[in-house]
Amino acid sequence: MTDNPAPSVMGLSIGGMHYLGMSAIRSSVSLGYQPGWVAASVVVAFLASFAALAAVRRNSRAAWQAGAAVLLGAGVVAMHYTAMVAVTLTPGADPAGGPGVPPLWLAFTVAGLTLLLLFLALGASLMDQRQVLSTALRAGRMGYWEMDIPRRRLTLSEQGRGLLGFAPDAPFDQSLVAALMTADSSDRRQQALERSINTGVDYEVDYELLDGRWLEVRGLMILDGGGRPLRLVGTIQDVTVHRIAFQDLARSEARQRLLINELNHRVKNTLATVLSIATLTARRSDDVQAFANAFQARLLSLSATHNLLTAQGWQQADLRDVFRAEFGHYNDDQVVLNGPDVWLSPENVLTLGLIAHELATNAAKYGALSLPEGRVEVCWRAEADALHLQWREHDGPPVTPPERKGFGSRLIASSAGASTFRYPPEGFEADLTLRLFERRPDGLEDPA
């Protein structure tokens, strides 16, 4: 409590009360005071005040407060009797003729010192509060501003000037501040200011500066005695980081909604594909076991195609990788893939994956891949909106046209724009043309 002026003020006030009261005494003797004992009485008052205030600050319970009151009362009594020891009495008619310090002068001196110390303490307290407030604003990277409404004069703290890019001693006014903002922010600022002045509501607005930063400005309206706007007082701070975070969050939420919709669309398409595979497989299966084997193989092929798309974020996949997924367990001399790099959309990948599976399965069961020396050659070329695919089998067993269309034939007929099948003695041949869908190599469109 050494930096707290309260004990000094209280001690001098107690002394001033005593000596001012003594100066009011009128008697046939004159009163005087011995300076040493006067100083001792003031010290007693100060110590009592210090001890009482320390007790109250230490603990706010009723017992401690009562103890502090008793302690202060005892100090006042001690100070009184110490001051009485300082009194000198001199018989005579002139009350001012006694030795020592005149009591009236002493009383006014102590009272004056008390008032002076009180005013100094109040001033120091206000300065301290202002310093604490300024420190808190700097710690929060905030500036203080004030606007005189009748004069439309704007005042900014040093921190506030720094946020706007002004030097501490540089002149500025509202027009210079508005020039730092985007046109939209300047309009919103003016509208918010007029609304606050006309209605008395709080002033709240975010500004975007020309350099890309965002400032949050808040203010309270102070009215005069007649209810008219007098001043706007508030804070200003840089909220660019928070603004960017909120914008990123909004974009993330929009993208999440887009992804959920995309996932829902893909799941529906996948279920429709699985249902179609199951229906067509069941129609061409002689028994349950045959259905289970064929259905499982086709689902595994569909799963492999999904894995290719997942590796590319479901944006695209390479045509060559689609065939490699089906021919992965064959040697390179048995399967030849010849063509340029062609990146396909997810729709084309799923379709081509099923077609490749059916062609490879038929080749393994009845065609060239059923013999160790058999070979399959796949060639392709791409145009703007079409893919031309050639399937050639060599050195396999003799092939004949099927008696009925199977799953693969129906799939190709429904998926390919044009298809031709040939069954020469040297091996099965197929020419397919597929319509190419637009792919999205750069990922989902940014919602922002």
Structure tokens given for 335: 């399967």
Rg (CA), the chain: 48
The whole-number pLDDT of residue 268 equals 76
Residue 338 is predicted with a pLDDT of 93
The pLDDT assigned to 447 comes to 39
For 116-146, what is each residue's pLDDT tens digit?
Answer: 655 665 665 556 556 656 666 666 677 888 8
255-313 pLDDT, tens per residue?
888 778 777 776 777 777 777 778 777 877 778 888 888 888 878 877 888 888 787 77
The predicted pLDDT at position 299 comes to: 81
| Single pTM value for the model | 0.47
Q: Tell me if residue 395 falls in helix, strand or coil.
A: coil
Residue 29: per-residue pLDDT: 67
Beta carbons of 274 and 295 less than 8 angstroms apart: no
Question: Which string of DSSP letters, residue by residue, matches 229-241?
Answer: EEEEEEEEEE-HH
Residue 393: its pLDDT value, please? 93
**Ranges of the chain with pLDDT below 50:** 1-2, 93, 95-98, 100, 441-448
204 CB-near residues (< 8 Å, 6+ apart): 192, 217, 218, 219
In this prediction, residue 123 carries a pLDDT of 60
Q: Tell me, what's the pLDDT at 103?
A: 57
Helices 240-283 and 346-365: crossing angle, nearest 10°? 30
Longest dimension (CA), the chain: 156
**Which pLDDT does position 264 carry in this prediction?**
78
What mean pLDDT is reported for the chain?
78
For 119, 333, 336, the CA distances from 113, given in Å and listed in that order, are: 10, 111, 108
Helix, strand or coil for residue 287?
coil
In the chain, the domains with their CATH numbers are 6-137 (no CATH), 142-238 (3.30.450.20), 245-435 (3.30.565.10)
Which of 378, 309, 377, 307 minimizes the C-alpha distance to 344?
309
- Give the residue ranges of DSSP H helices in 366-431: 407-415
